[in-house]
Structure 1
Amino acid sequence: MAFFGTYTPRLDDKGRLFLPAKFRDQLKEGLVLTKGQEHCVYVWSLDDFAALTRQAQKASFTKRANRDFQRMLFSGAAEETPDKQGRITLPPVLRTWASLERDCVAIGAMDRVEIWDAGAWERYADATEESYAQMSEEVMPGIE
């Protein structure tokens, strides 16, 4: 399963957001929302979050960086099931974390969806765009 594409849903007054139609089938059984890096919200399928949890459990808790990462990731986690219309409710702690108020951007990021404040996403994309070509050499050497 892979998520891709960029969509622009809006939060309603109750903190609900329509999942993009392209993502709904993969997440209809349930999902986990949690704090993402760069102050976005990660959206994981239940299976992918379970795999992430198993991986995190293998990290030694005696290392401070591991404990810090686990605390941030799991303390903000919330399980949701989309309603019949494909809406999910983002908990206040996650809306605050990602500065989500109204206009949002939902991007597919391979194994997860990321929900960003529209302005924050625009600033991030603008800042990262120039180094995109160089990143491919580092992240995926040998890709043609």
Structure 2
Amino acid sequence: MWYINFRQWGDCMFMGEYQHNIDTKGRLIIPAKFREHMMAGFVITRGLDDCLFGYPMAEWEKLEQKLKQLPLTKRDNRAFTRFFFSGATEVDLDKSGRINIPNNLLSFAKIEKECVILGVSNRIEIWDQAKWQSYYEDSTESFADLAENMFDSNIDF
């Protein structure tokens, strides 16, 4: 039987796929299961693959410490940290369980209305729905190859 041992990475906070709409003011309803992890503060920033990444404050602080360790003498390190941190913004949940995503981040991820919120262990990802569907379909074909390559990384399934 195959299983993923998440305990080696710590507790799995976010998982699942949820479809929601962004309203005309840039507000997005956060799935109820995710909200408890956002109460102490939450940061949204530019992610990879044209999506947004969202981190609870404790996870963001861990990531920030790791990125501070990167040598500034390397051009790629400077470029990545500039891009990543300059897009970051702290967001709060309103009484209706929504966050307000700034226009610059919505533009970056090309999110206009329909979106998908993914739980990905210690972060959430927010995707334009059509972009996610395309990415998902492309990745489904190579999922077995991805899993095989993870064995090389000593990931225990």
1:134 Cα deviation (Å)? Answer: 1.1
* SS of equivalent to 1:37: coil
Change (3 A) 1:130 1:69: same
The answer to whether 1:126 aligns with 2:105 is: no
The answer to whether 1:77 aligns with 2:99 is: no
**Unaligned runs of at least 5 residues, structure 2:** 1-10
Of 13, 17, 37, 1:26 maps to 37
Percent identity at matched positions?
38
1:28 Cα deviation (Å)? Answer: 1.8
Of 67, 72, 76, 1:61 maps to 72
The answer to whether 1:51 aligns with 2:93 is: no
**Unaligned runs of at least 5 residues, structure 1:** none
- Cα distance in structure 2, aligned partners of 1:140 and 1:10: 37
After superposition, the CA RMSD in angstroms is 1.1
Please report the TM-score for the alignment, with normalisation by the length of structure 2: 0.88
- Cα distance in structure 2, aligned partners of 1:138 and 1:70: 27
Change (3 A) 1:131 1:89: same
Amino acid at match of 1:130: E
1:29 Cα deviation (Å)? Answer: 2.0
Structure showing the higher strand proportion among its residues: 2
Question: What are the Cα deviations for residues 9-67 of structure 1, in whole angstroms up to 9, with x where unaligned?
Answer: 11001000000111011112210000000110101000100110000000001001101
Change (3 A) 1:53 1:107: same
Please report the TM-score for the alignment, with normalisation by the length of structure 1: 0.96
Of 46, 59, 81, 1:35 maps to 46
Match in the other structure for 2:98: 87
* SS of equivalent to 2:24: coil
